[in-house]
Amino acid sequence: MNFKDKDAIYLQIADYMSEHILLGKWKPDEKIPSVRELAGDIQVNPNTVMRTYEHLQNQDIIFNRRGLGHYVALDAIEKIKSIRKERFLQQELPDFFRSLYLLDISFDEMQKRYEAYRSKVNQPKP
């Protein structure tokens, strides 16, 4: 995992874990790696991963089954999408619009590129 300077590491790990859930790598009500396993996999201190797990528990994305480990919440996908959508709309979209304005990029051009992106993403993998 490559970390960026702009966000706290535990938040970047939370995004990484959320992406795993959104992509179906970790399914609802499925056990996720232990704190130590994940820390070893991504080469960080277990305390940082524990902070991530606490953060995701507070958002009701994962939950702890005492003595068994952490699991993906049944409605985790909806919660992640809601949280990410709000963050995107509040933080990233204004910067995106500013770039469109400053670079004089039309919505027609953006729509064409978005449609090309979607068709590329929806292609079956070889």
Write down the pLDDT at residue 125. Answer: 56
Q: Nearest-CA neighbor of 72 among 29, 24, 117, 16?
A: 29
Residue with more model confidence, 6 or 120:
120
Q: Nearest-CA neighbor of 73 among 87, 44, 53, 88?
A: 53
Q: How far apart, in whole angstroms, are the C-alpha atoms of residue 86 and residue 20?
A: 19
Q: How far apart, in whole angstroms, are the C-alpha atoms of residue 50 and residue 13?
A: 10
- Contact status, residue 21 vs residue 77, Cβ threshold 8 Å: yes
pLDDT tens-digit map of 10-34 = 999 999 999 999 999 999 999 999 9
At 3, is the pLDDT very low, low, confident or very high (cuts 50, 70, 90)? confident
Q: Which residues, listed in sequence order, are joined to residue 71 by a DSSP beta bridge?
A: 31, 63
Output the average pLDDT for the chain: 93
